Amino acid sequence: MKKIGFVGVGIMGKSMVRNLMKAGYELHIYARTKSKVEDVISEGAVYHDTVGECASDVDVMISIVGYPKDVEEVYFGEKGILNSAKEGTYVIDMTTSSPKLAKKIYDAAKEKGLHAMDAPVTGGDTGAKNGTLSILVGGDKEDYEACHKVFEAMGTNINYEGGPGCGQHTKMANQIMIAGTLSGVCEAMRYAEAQGLDLHTLLDSVATGAAGSKQLDAFGKKIIDGDFAPGFFMKHFIKDMNLAVEEAESKGLNLKILKQVLENYRTLEEAYGDLGTQTLIKFYR
């Protein structure tokens, strides 16, 4: 495997492309707006004008786009991945998307002699830059093993989660955990603020104890400093929580905390959807 196609060269994708190139792969990319990827083109990535062209002559085709509707378009469009990739290509969707859609892609790919996996990631923009993403892979285990070196170029915690869709289900569980944890961080900080505590001292006091968390480490100081730049867009987190609620309800589960956090975020989406998930603090102010 030497040639990799990549669709979705955004906040996460651009760093992933760079890490794949550093690992020695030949990168072929497609982006809706070429001017936004001129930097990685100058670094050696080969640009294509359509998804189909990008997918037509590579060993592995990776996508990480915004929403399930974008995944549908990229894979099932007339000039999409499934209609363009050569037989034997590994097609890997790393978008956080619908488990049902992952299974649909897997089945359609199999009919065309392609190897499909769903492999959403967690670790945010920092993990993407550092090549330390957690990668959650669903599909056939032999395909996972065949592409392990490709995954190693982008992440350090790489796990096979099960059959098609299981990567997405694992990501849903991940987002459910984040929803509750980040809400707890925001509520605690608002409480401390109202009581007149120094928030920097608060962070120093609790970060290494039982209340410590990755969410506190990532966003505690940013919340104090009013830094709401997106490492992960609020609107995309809302999309993920919507998917998790749908999947939970399909199993008869009523995840009350998840639903409440989602509702809190929805009140902010119109004004702050393009900011980071830490912007949830504005709900409490």
**Considering 171, 221, 235, 239, which one is annotated as catalytic?**
171
Residue 13 buriedness (CB in 10 A; 0-12 / 13-18 / 19+): buried
What backbone phi and psi angles, to 5 degrees, belong to 107? -65, -45
Q: Which residues contact 180 (CB under 8 A, 6 or more apart)?
A: 257, 258, 261
171 is known as an active-site residue: yes
Going by the DSSP 8-state scheme, the letter that residue 277 receives in this structure is G
**For residue 206, how many other CB atoms are within 10 A of its CB?**
17
Q: Six-digit token pair at 11?
A: 């906040």
- Nearest Cα neighbor of 137 from 107, 106, 183 is 106
Q: Which residues are catalytic?
A: 171
